Amino acid sequence: MSSQNRYTVTPTVSVLAVMKGRLAGATKGHSLLKKKADALNMRFRQILRKIVETKEEMGKVMKASFFSLAQAKYSSGDFKHTVFDSVDQASVKVRASQDNVAGVKLPKFESVKEGGGAVDSKLGLIGLGSGGKQIQECRKSFMSAIDLLVELASLQTAFLTLDEAIKTTNRRVNALEHVVKPRLENTIAYIKGELDELEREEFFRLKKVQGNKKKHAEAAAAKEAEEAAAAAAQGSGTVANGSGAAGAQQQQQQGDILGVQDADIIF
């Protein structure tokens, strides 16, 4: 336990209580974040699988769409300039909404067709003279491709957002586990150590005081005894001698109890 890896605090009982509270908080937070990370990870895996699937499907759908474009071109010649010049206001748009996974907001896209996807008047008559049917087929085909692309876009955005969120969460989990918690534990241990140290000092001081008192008492007793002896010699010192001895005995007993109690811890 290195003494650097702890908070600089005054080792008091109240600070100890605060630190213990913080440790409990950190432990709780850690387990919660861990759960969140698991939830995110699960969603992440789902999305990954779906992205791979959808991308492959997209490849197929686009291929079919391009082929229908070739069919349309076959029937009605080159109509692309007409299409390019007919562009005005977008009738197919993307609506963004949010999906909530364990507190992470995932943007979600949805394609919206104005007028319920009805044929736009400007584009509806393309190829009127020839091949219009094929062009409409092609349009439908690309429409489904757009739907798929938008779905894919939303998956991909979710992927990137989740990726970021998971990284942050993992960073927090790791920070709690490897930095905050050990540091709190160290601090608590340090405070406990300091408190014990203080206690030992206190005990030693008491011991010392007791020793001093004893010495004084003995000295006093000796003096008294001397005096008593002197008095006995004089014939009147018995009572005083008895009371002095009793007091000394009492103190001796107290010291013993302390000594016995703490013997295993301190010495």
Contact between 65 and other proteins per CB under 8 A: yes
Kindly state the smallest distance separating residue 162's Cβ from other proteins, in Å: 10
100 DSSP β-pair partners: 105
Contact between 187 and other proteins per CB under 8 A: no
Contact between 52 and other proteins per CB under 8 A: yes
Which residues in 99-128 contact other proteins (CB under 8 A)?
105, 107, 109, 112-114, 119-128
State the Cα–Cα distance between residues 102 and 16, nearest whole angstrom: 34
Please state the φ and ψ torsions of residue 263, each to the nearest 5 degrees: -55, -50
> How far from each other are the two terminal CA atoms of the chain, in whole angstroms?
23
State the Cα–Cα distance between residues 49 and 80, nearest whole angstrom: 36
* CB-CB neighbours of 130 under 10 Å: 12
Contact between 3 and other proteins per CB under 8 A: no
Which residues in 145-174 contact other proteins (CB under 8 A)?
145-146, 149-150, 152-154, 156-157, 159-161, 163-164
Contact between 13 and other proteins per CB under 8 A: no
- What contacts 223, CB < 8 A, 6 or more positions away? none
- What contacts 61, CB < 8 A, 6 or more positions away? 141, 144, 145, 148
State the Cα–Cα distance between residues 11 and 135, nearest whole angstrom: 82
Contact between 132 and other proteins per CB under 8 A: yes
Which of 51, 195, 258, 266 is the binder for other proteins (CB under 8 A)? 51
Which of 1, 12, 18, 95 is the binder for other proteins (CB under 8 A)? 95
Piece of 76-84, 183-191, 206-214, 224-232 that binds other proteins (CB under 8 A): 76-84
Which residues in 206-245 contact other proteins (CB under 8 A)?
none
Is 215 in a helix, a strand, or coil?
helix
Nearer Cβ to other proteins, position 147 or 185? Answer: 147
Which of 3, 13, 85, 250 is the binder for other proteins (CB under 8 A)? 85
Contact between 42 and other proteins per CB under 8 A: no
Q: Where are the beta strands (DSSP E) in 45-120?
A: 92-101, 104-113
Which of 14, 98, 100, 253 is the binder for other proteins (CB under 8 A)? 98
Cβ(145)–Cβ(58) below 8 Å: yes
